[in-house]
Amino acid sequence: MTSSQEFERVALLASDVERAQEAYAELSREHDWAPIEEADAVVVLGGDGFMLQTLHTMLDSHRVIPAYGLNLGTVGFLMNRFRSGSNPMRRMAKARSIAVAPLLMEARTQDGNSHSFFAINEVSLLRETRQTAKIEVSVDDRVRIPELVCDGVLLSTPAGSTAYNLSANGPILPLDSELMALTPISPFRPRRWRGAILPDRSRVTFKVLEPHKRPVSAVADQKEVRDIAEVSLAVARDSELTLLFDPGHALDERIVAEQFVV
């Protein structure tokens, strides 16, 4: 985590939300913005969902640049506070940069097809029908739970630990912890298992048991693959992203603060 540099060519993107479009119109008049294809940084107007969409577009295009978000959505955990009339270029010059490494999901379906997707927050396996899922859980090729009976299970990054993971009673992880949260969703058996905290060098594999009776889907942030046979997950260190935050409002501080919300 270091102080950000001065950016010469900055792009401006906005979600379709009315507030974001109004801010886009205001900021468009105040600065000569660069096309995203030529920019060395981007200002993102919207909420966490649009920020995730923007970051995934970077990963898919293999062109990753620092992103500075201004919250015009709801929660805005990945964003900075929007203030009408403030200069985002000046704020970016003072911002802190935080590195976020996504998960790489490699999924195989029942028909033998393979799919690869990145996940910045988490990868979750979810039952597709009224039948509970049965999933074998392995860590570094060692079976840790032969049969997890549940609604699902997820693996979360520190950046995503306050999202779905927290709602499933998983732990909050500091950004620099080099850990991942393995969290069951409504587990039935083993009844007392509440999840695990793993080193982020670990490789986690989920194998779906009784798939025809108990089909399971896998969701990597916003992308879903149905009728899963097996999923392997590992941190993609060569696809690291950079988020920019105002001093005092960085994501690592928010993760600490979230643990004291009552």
Can you give the pLDDT at residue 142? Answer: 97
Between 175 and 153, the higher pLDDT residue = 153
2 pLDDT band, cuts 50/70/90, is very low
Nearest to 170 by CA among 160, 88, 99: 160
78 is in an annotated binding site: no
Half-sphere exposure of 233 (CA within 13 A, CB side): 33
Cβ-based neighbours of 48, under 8 Å, separated by 6 or more: 73, 74, 75, 76, 77, 78, 79
Run of H or E residues at 252: helix 251-258
Three-state secondary-structure class, residue 103:
strand
Residue 249 scores a pLDDT above 80 = no
Q: 115 phi and psi, to 5 degrees?
A: -140, 140
- Do 116 and 232 reside in the same domain of the chain? yes
Least confident of 12-16, 83-87, 228-232, 251-255: 251-255
Can you give the pLDDT at residue 1? Answer: 46
* Counted domains in the chain: 2
- Do 213 and 250 reside in the same domain of the chain? no
Can you give the pLDDT at residue 262? Answer: 64
Containing structural domain, residue 38: 2-101+240-258
229 is in an annotated binding site: no
71 is in an annotated binding site: no
- Do 96 and 130 reside in the same domain of the chain? no
pTM reported for the whole predicted model: 0.86
- Do 39 and 152 reside in the same domain of the chain? no
176 pLDDT band, cuts 50/70/90, is confident
Q: Are strands 67-71 and 241-245 parallel, antiparallel or unpaired?
A: parallel
151 is in an annotated binding site: yes
Active site residue 238: no
Q: How large is the greatest C-alpha to C-alpha distance in the chain, in angstroms? A: 59
Can you give the pLDDT at residue 259? Answer: 76
Can you give the pLDDT at residue 250? Answer: 65
- Do 216 and 117 reside in the same domain of the chain? yes
Give the separation between CA 72 and CA 17, rounded to whole angstroms: 8
- Do 176 and 54 reside in the same domain of the chain? no
Average the pLDDT over 64-76 and give the result. 91
Beta strands (DSSP E) in the chain are 2-3, 10-14, 41-46, 67-71, 80-81, 96-100, 103-109, 114-119, 122-127, 133-139, 142-150, 152-156, 179-185, 196-199, 204-209, 216-220, 223-225, 228-235, 241-245
- The enclosing domain of 181 has a CATH number of 2.60.200.30
- The enclosing domain of 32 has a CATH number of 3.40.50.10330
- Do 112 and 212 reside in the same domain of the chain? yes
- Do 112 and 224 reside in the same domain of the chain? yes
- Do 152 and 31 reside in the same domain of the chain? no
49 is in an annotated binding site: yes
Residue 3 scores a pLDDT above 80 = no
- Do 142 and 180 reside in the same domain of the chain? yes
- Do 15 and 33 reside in the same domain of the chain? yes
Q: Quick one: what percent of the chain has pLDDT higher than 70?
A: 97
5 pLDDT band, cuts 50/70/90, is low
Q: Which of 16, 32, 40, 48 is catalytic?
A: 48
25 is in an annotated binding site: no
What are 115-145's pLDDT values in tens digits? Answer: 999 999 999 999 999 999 999 999 999 999 9
What are 31-54's pLDDT values in tens digits? Answer: 899 999 999 999 999 999 999 999
Residue 247 scores a pLDDT above 50 = yes
- Do 254 and 173 reside in the same domain of the chain? no
DSSP-derived letter for residue 237 is G
Nearest to 216 by CA among 232, 227, 205, 200: 227
119 is in an annotated binding site: no
Q: In the predicted model, what is the mean pLDDT of the chain?
A: 92
